[in-house]
Amino acid sequence: MTKLKILTLGNPILKKKSKAIKKITPDIKKLIKDMTETLHAAPGVGLAAPQVGQSVRLILVDVGEGLTVLINPKLTKKSGKQEMIEGCLSLPGLRAPIERYAHIFVEGLNRSGEKVKIEAHGLFSTVIQHEMDHLDGILCIDRVKDPSTIIFEPFEISSKEPNL
Ligand code: ZN
């Protein structure tokens, strides 16, 4: 089992725009496998490749309904608004309310390189948008409307809240 190191706030890779994946090479397949193990071990509900130091457009989401792997994801439809308290494996202990689209459609490739279209609501929708932001160098704290709403809690206390 390979548990990758998760980069935290201050690492410049987290602020970079990631590159599209042109071909699903053995290295990409290995990265997906290692990221899956890292996500489940964290534990988290989402992980983006830049968080493990790879500046490529790949996200993993698992909100308890099975793992979704998305390569080169694009938001094709969005509607409504919702606010959830978000945390991030790259911002250990920080949490803040973030507003996102409530209902989204995302297109991309799955781990086999096949085109997929995903519809998401609720937590699934928020986590996909949070992970897609990582691909553009955006952290959830960059989207906080009121900085006074950011809180710090060590993970031991806040483990009931999902980590994105
Ligand atoms: Zn995150």
Query: Is 3 part of any domain?
Result: no
Query: Is 90 part of any domain?
Result: yes
Cα 163 to middle of ligand 1, angstroms: 7
Instruction: Round to whole Å and give the CA distance between 104 and 13.
Output: 27
Strands (E), 23-114: 46-48, 58-61, 68-87, 94-109
The domain tally of the chain equals 1
99 catalytic residue (yes or no): no
Q: Does the predicted model carry a pTM greater than 0.85?
A: yes
Residue range 118-130, pLDDT digits in tens = 999 999 999 999 9
Residue range 130-150, pLDDT digits in tens = 999 999 999 999 999 999 999
Residue range 51-107, pLDDT digits in tens = 999 999 999 999 999 999 999 999 999 999 999 999 999 999 999 999 999 999 999
The encoded tokens of residue 62 equal: 């698992």
Nearest CA-CA partner of 95 in 85, 105, 104, 103: 85
Query: Is 4 part of any domain?
Result: no
Do 112 and 24 form a contact (C-beta atoms < 8 A)?
A: yes
Cα 141 to middle of ligand 1, angstroms: 10
Query: Is 1 part of any domain?
Result: no
pLDDT value, residue 89: 95
Cα 132 to middle of ligand 1, angstroms: 9
pLDDT value, residue 1: 75
Nearest CA-CA partner of 110 in 74, 77, 68, 76: 68
- The more confident residue out of 157 and 16 is 16
State the residue range of the domain holding 109.
12-152
Instruction: Round to whole Å and give the CA distance between 109 and 51.
Output: 20
Query: Is 129 part of any domain?
Result: yes
Output the domain CATH number for residue 92.
Answer: 3.90.45.10
Does 43 sit behind a cis peptide bond, omega within 30 degrees of 0 on the bond before it?
A: yes
Write down the catalytic residue from 131, 153, 156, 161: 131
Q: Coil, strand or helix: which one is 132?
A: helix
Cα 90 to middle of ligand 1, angstroms: 6
pLDDT value, residue 153: 84
